[in-house]
């Protein structure tokens, strides 16, 4: 009997996202449906890649942390139908909290690498205005009664304060300075037209003001100063270090990407943005979930035979500045290393939970086009309930020597 498996190279073809909005009644997407945001991303991928036969798409994997209402109904399948893909294209939903879209990519990549899929669309959506984090959740009382987790593990801001405790060298002054740097790098990238190339404009609607058109991220505050951040409240702990200024906000938005076998991409004439080298997820103490990217990356480096010195670009999700700095400190990387988040990060542009992984990947793919001297890049993020996820990518445009 012939084998149906065929291990092969998996590539990131193209990625897109909506502009990110601030969650809440005053945000740009306050009256926009979550499923319409992800549908817009899927349609844009199809429009930008007309050489991709939509009937060749093997699956649509879409993540959402809160899978109810307009983020429910097996959103990968419902979004595929709403986006006008052929009815033969299946879809499914994924939940790994903040790493939802990252897991959508790695899951479909696994199927492609195993030879069962050729093409997939992977992404995520989060409308935190309609569906606040933890909406409808009923944690099992044994988590606390049996002391399976520290009570602080269920509030992400508290876990970030715990991480400060574990890394006393990471002071509030350092996290505030990092946050300012994120805002400044984002603004420089925006002004240079780099952010716009990753966005699909999105229709908005408000009962009072009518229809609108979102073309830019809503959260950035480029004029923020260290003095501004010094005076912000610390809501998770009296005299704490976590503020609204050195953490990502509550946001709405969606992302999507085309993942393919390299042979399929070549056959169809699709662009090859980057090649997947490997991925890893790792669990940690939920009370310090922000440390998750460290062991996930260590595990991945060991599996791939690479070292941290082989990584020429880092896209690290900025859920909290302390979480990024804990990663950098562990690996001996300077707070202001230019390899890290060259276009700023979630502290500036926002973090709509399950969608953020593909934002990191889309930006890294764009960096690779400009940085032909860099061979490997890393996308990594912390994950609620105590996890970390990391993916290493190879630059197809690399012009240097290969060992």
Catalytic residue ranges: 98, 351, 382
Structure tokens at 340: 């890290």
Please, are residues 41 and 255 in contact by the beta-carbon 8 Å criterion? yes
Cβ neighbours for 300, distance < 8 A, ≥ 6 positions apart: 278, 279, 280, 390, 391, 392
Q: What would you measure as the largest C-alpha separation in the chain, in angstroms?
A: 70
Q: Tokens 């197809």 identify what position?
A: 396
**Is residue 258 classed as helix, strand or coil in its secondary structure?**
strand
d(CA 17, CA 107): 20
d(CA 403, CA 391): 21
Q: What are phi and psi of 383, to 5 degrees?
A: -140, 135
Orientation angle between helical segments 356-370 and 100-113, nearest 10 degrees: 70
CA distances, 226 to each of 22, 33, 79, 178, 338 (Å): 22, 36, 42, 10, 20
d(CA 259, CA 35): 21
Cβ neighbours for 212, distance < 8 A, ≥ 6 positions apart: 28, 203, 204, 205, 206
Rounded to the nearest 5 percent, the helix, strand and coil shares of the chain are 40, 20, 40
């Amino acid at each position: 009997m012939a084998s149906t498996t065929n291990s092969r190279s998996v590539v990131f073809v193209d990625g897109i996202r909506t502009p990110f909005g601030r969650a809440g009644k005053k945000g740009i997407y306050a009256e926009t449906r979550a499923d319409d945001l992800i549908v817009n991303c899927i349609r844009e991928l199809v429009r930008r890649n007309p050489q991709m036969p939509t009937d060749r798409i093997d699956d649509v994997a879409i993540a959402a942390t809160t899978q109810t209402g307009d983020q429910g109904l097996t959103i990968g399948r419902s979004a595929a139908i709403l986006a006008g893909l052929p009815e033969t294209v299946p879809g499914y939903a994924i939940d790994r909290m903040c790493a939802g879209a990252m897991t959508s990519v790695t899951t479909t990549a696994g199927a492609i690498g195993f030879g069962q899929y050729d093409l997939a669309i992977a992404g995520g959506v989060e409308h935190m205005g309609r569906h606040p984090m933890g909406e409808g959740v009923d944690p099992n009382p044994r988590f606390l009664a049996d002391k399976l987790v520290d009570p602080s593990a269920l509030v992400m801001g508290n876990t970030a304060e715990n991480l400060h405790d574990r890394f006393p060298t990471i002071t509030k002054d350092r996290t505030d300075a990092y946050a300012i740097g994120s805002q400044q790098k984002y603004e420089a990238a925006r002004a240079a037209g780099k952010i716009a190339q990753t966005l699909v404009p999105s229709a908005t609607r408000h009962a009072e003001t009518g229809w609108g058109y979102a073309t830019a991220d809503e959260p950035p505050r480029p004029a923020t100063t260290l003095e501004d951040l010094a005076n912000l409240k610390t809501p998770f702990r009296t005299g704490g270090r976590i503020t609204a200024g050195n953490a990502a906000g509550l946001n709405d938005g969606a992302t999507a990407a085309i993942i393919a076998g390299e042979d399929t991409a070549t056959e169809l004439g699709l662009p090859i943005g980057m090649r997947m080298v490997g991925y890893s997820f790792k669990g940690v103490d939920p009370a310090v979930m922000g440390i998750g990217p460290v062991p996930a990356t260590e595990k991945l480096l060991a599996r791939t035979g690479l070292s941290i010195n082989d990584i020429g670009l880092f896209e690290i999700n900025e859920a909290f500045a302390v979480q990024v700095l804990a990663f950098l400190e562990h690996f001996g990387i300077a707070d202001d290393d230019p390899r890290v988040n060259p276009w700023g990060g979630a502290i500036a542009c926002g973090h709509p939970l399950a969608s953020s992984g593909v934002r990191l990947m889309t930006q890294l793919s764009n960096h690779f086009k400009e940085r032909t001297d860099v061979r490997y890049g890393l996308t990594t993020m912390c994950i609620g309930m105590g996890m970390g996820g990391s993916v290493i990518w190879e630059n197809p445009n690399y012009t240097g020597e290969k060992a």
